[in-house]
Amino acid sequence: MGTAASMNKPYKLAVKAIICDSAGRCLLIRRSQANQHFVGKWEWPGGKVDAGEDLSAALTREVREETALEVEVTGLAGAVHYEMPKVHVILLCLAARAGPERARAVRLDRIHARVPCRRHGADRRHRPGNHCLQAGR
């Protein structure tokens, strides 16, 4: 059983996309310096589910914001609970398939040196050194 302080923390729901290609390689992105937690760590794309938001819609939105890929959710791959300093997080890992567009590996520092961050708008650009799969080009 948890402590009283732990039991009083709110629960938040998050989703992550497990996107693998035909060679079995999975898409990972690296957390930038702009993040509060786990800077420099590699993770699957995804993020918080907004109140009332459908899980598939949340996942496709987060993947689009972080990688510019369009994905289709194909199933539940797993779930985990962990505790952060202020919240409990329920993380759903969803299997997803990238859309029909061709994707290739690119360095985000080359893109975001010229292009505003799609997630945060024109005022914010990601720091160099982040990697992801970018649609087309």
Q: According to the model, what pLDDT value does residue 100 have?
A: 65
- The pLDDT assigned to 5 comes to 65
Q: Domain 4-101: which topology?
A: Nucleoside Triphosphate Pyrophosphohydrolase (3.90.79)
pLDDT score recorded for residue 31: 83
- pLDDT reported for residue 101: 58
pLDDT at 9: 93
Number of neighbours of residue 103 by Cβ within 10 angstroms: 19
DSSP three-state, residue 16: strand
Q: Running along the chain, 137 residues long, what does each successive block of 10 average in pLDDT?
A: 74 95 85 81 92 95 90 94 93 89 44 40 40 35
> Secondary structure of 41-108 in the HEC alphabet?
CEECCEEECCCCCCHHHHHHHHHHHHHCCCEEEEEEEEEEEEECCCCEEEEEEEEEEECCCCEEEEEH
pLDDT score recorded for residue 108: 41
Confidence (pLDDT) at 54: 96
Report the predicted TM-score, pTM, of the whole model to 2 decimal places. 0.67
Q: Which residue, 119, 122, 88, 76, is CA-closest to 130?
A: 119
pLDDT number for residue 36: 77
